[in-house]
Amino acid sequence: MKVLELNNISMSIISDSLKRIKPSPTIAVTQKARELRAAGKDVVGLGAGEPDFDTPDNIKKAAIKAIKNGETKYTTVDGTPALKKAIIKKFKRENKLNYSIDQITVGTGGKQVIYNAFMATLNKGDEVIIPAPFWVSYPDMVLLAGGKPKIIKCSEKEGFKLTAKKLKKAISKKTKWVILNSPSNPTGAAYTKKEVQDLAKVLMQNKKIYILSDDIYEHVRYDNFNFFTIAQISKLKDRTLTLNGVSKSYAMTGWRIGYAAGPKDIIKAIGKIQSQSTSNPSSISQAAAVEALNGNQSFIKKRSDAFKVRRDFVVKNLNAIKGISCQKPNGAFYVFPSCKGLLNKKTKLKSDTEFVQKLLEKSNVAVVQGSAFGLDGYFRISYATSMNNLKKAMTRIKSFCDSIS
């Protein structure tokens, strides 16, 4: 009898689907900055996408009250009734959208809600249209779910935004989802009502396509920009999953609460996925999120005003650097400047990745390369940090660029 020798067979414990994806570049940059600071380096980290403000006191008090009241047990898998009701009120109050309890899901951050949605709906070969520059996790989550990311590059000339013409050309028989993110991570670009309506006209002609509208930066906008989300177009509401959360607007990144509203069948399927993975989000975080959505909202405008001052400072300083150019974004807390003017034989830099690596190595400023977001020749700066850090960073970036140009 022939014996099969297993040690001669090359085997890996890591799944093929996991091999298709890469670690988050933004998290990697943030971690690298932490490590360098721990080693004694004076590093200015501009890689993290989280507000430097603290969670408001009324929200903290609601969490403490929940702990004292013993609200420490399992909750409904996809969110407590109290939080779902607060989310319904939010959509009605701010977006004039009406939803029922069974059209709402709550997850451990917006990232989990998106991941659950793709796991629940994508079959092998299904395409998801993703405008680039994109949030780094979109394509990899699609790949993990067995789908195929269809990346559509949106140029600086187009304001880094998807046009109706490009959307129409990108759609195929395999298209299942289109992702819209406004205001955008990484560019801060936001779609006007007219631009959303133009995209909607294309999508209304393709009735089998669903829309994921990532509105996580809804409240971080400037210059009286009027926010408009695609679910507000009634003919598309039943095909739209509108994602939001408390992380960015309420400075609650570590509390991990994201939510979405959408078609009942998708919401139910998301709940099924969640029931076999994480189960419910933290009961205490959910209690805090209820207060965030129902409580005083006045601080949001004040914080956006503070971000605007930082945005204006960063954009002005970047545009004064030879070889760098930067658009002024409508929202979020990022800028996406071009470094193409510094990628040449004189500087000996061939890519945006080399640029950000040298910037960190020589000047102790951590930013993220544009190629991580699907568009080469750029880099992302998060200005969700103190003005002192931004002043220090701008001085260092200018000195670095002057030294190589």
For the entire predicted model, the pTM comes to: 0.94
Q: Find where tokens 């067979």 sit.
A: 9
Q: Is the dihedral of CA 383, 216, 253, 371 positive or negative?
A: negative
pLDDT at 9: 44
Q: Can you spell out the DSSP letters for 373-398? A: GT-TTBEEEE--S-HHHHHHHHHHHH
Instruction: Tell me if 220 sits within 8 A of 248, measured CB to CB.
Output: yes
pLDDT at 5: 46
pLDDT at 36: 86
Segment holding 238, helix H or strand E: none
Question: In the chain, what are the domain boundaries?
Answer: 8-54+299-404, 70-294
Instruction: Tell me if 354 sits within 8 A of 367, measured CB to CB.
Output: no
CA distance 336 to 328: 9
Q: Residue 133: left (phi > 0), alpha (psi -120 to 50), or beta?
A: beta
Query: Residues 31, 33, 35, 36: what is their CA dihedral angle, to the nearest 10 degrees?
Result: 170
- Reference 130, options 121, 139, 122; nearest CA is 139
Per CATH, the architecture of 8-54+299-404 is what? Alpha-Beta Complex (3.90)
Query: Residues 175, 177, 181, 187: what is their CA dihedral angle, to the nearest 10 degrees?
Result: -30
Beta pairing, strands 210-214 & 240-245 = parallel
pLDDT at 1: 46
Instruction: Residue count of the chain, please give it.
Output: 405
Which stretches of the chain score pLDDT less than 50? 1-10
Q: Could you give the C-alpha distances from 312 to 250, 292, 330, 382, in angstroms and in order? A: 22, 28, 11, 13
- Reference 186, options 387, 328, 370, 352; nearest CA is 370
pLDDT at 11: 61
| CATH value of 70-294 in 3.40.50.410, 3.40.640.10, 3.30.420.40, 3.40.50.300 | 3.40.640.10
pLDDT at 20: 84
Phi/psi at 282 (nearest 5 deg)? -50, 130
pLDDT at 23: 85
Q: What is the pLDDT of residues 165-180, one digit of tens each?
A: 999 999 999 999 999 9
Q: Can you spell out the DSSP letters for 117-131? A: HHHHH--TT-EEEEE
CA distance 225 to 146: 37
CA angle 383, 387, 388 (to 5 degrees): 120
Domains 8-54+299-404 and 70-294 share a fold: no
